[in-house]
A = this chain, B = another copy of it.
Amino acid sequence: MARYKLILAYDGSNFSGSQRQAGKRTVQGELEKALTKLGWTGRSILLSGRTDSGVHATGQVAAADLNWSHSDSDLLRALNSLLPADLVVRALEAVDAKFHPRFDAVSRTYRYRLFCQPLRDPLRERFAWRVHPPADVSLLQGAAQPFLGTHDFSAFGSPTTPRGGTVRTVMKAAWTQTGGDEWQFEVQADAFLYRMVRRMVFLQVAAAQGKVSVEVIARSLAKQAAAEFRSVLPAGLAPAHGLTLVEVEYRS
């Protein structure tokens, strides 16, 4: 028996999120179904964290204990032949038996894609948020700055555990232009609150559309102001389909 670390990519459109739920099609459910056919008898695989319904991934990390007597590349091939088209194991390796994809992670990187257009765009909207009226992109770039560093993000989400803290450290938060009207937000933090990235994106876009002042973002990060700003902030979420979990980083 060995513990395997698996790097997963999925198109989240047709999954009810990553975590197993009875009667729903989930990433965990599909992966456990495939593993079971290869002799896996565990109760539950481990995931680095939960992604919501509709959120995509290119670098979700899972762990599973498996008796496998052939090569790693054989296992990769066997698993992928059993998984559906919208879920793939990109890589795998045997790791220390104590490896935990969530507790051992030192940071996570997410990417959020958007484009500014007045009309629907069927070829892009599966993986990006269509924003209109257009965002002022110079404002967008400035809007990301206040997030950098260690802050109380309680205005941006709930803890992932009942009594969890709300202080997080953001190492990277930057917008880059990826096409004529396309922008991409890349954000890396030690961990994220529930729906934190989608709230961060929503608020930045509201600022870049002139709906709120950019200063609101900086003020919303002050611990004492969180409760106040929670009621002031536009209470919205950028849609799930623009979000992708890109990478989970571990101490090597």
Q: How far is the CB of A239 from chain B (nearest CB, A)?
A: 13
Sort chain A's interface into a size bin. 20 to 34
Q: Does A121 contact B (CB under 8 A)?
A: yes
Q: Are B244 and A85 in contact (CB-based, < 8 A)?
A: no
> Is the beta-carbon distance between B121 and A9 smaller than 8 angstroms?
yes
Set B76, B87, B121, B123: member contacting A122, Cβ < 8 A: B87
Residues of B within 8 Å of A244, CB to CB, are 123
Q: How far is the CA of A83 from the CA of B90 in the complex (A)?
A: 37
Could you list 26 examples of A-B contacts with CB < 8 Å? Answer: A9-B121, A9-B122, A9-B123, A10-B122, A10-B123, A11-B122, A11-B123, A11-B126, A56-B123, A58-B123, A76-B119, A80-B119, A80-B120, A85-B120, A85-B122, A85-B125, A86-B122, A87-B122, A88-B119, A88-B120, A88-B121, A88-B122, A90-B119, A123-B127, A123-B244, A126-B126
Q: Which residues of A are interface residues toward B (Cβ below 8 A)? A: 9-11, 56, 58, 76, 80, 85-88, 90, 119-123, 125-127, 244
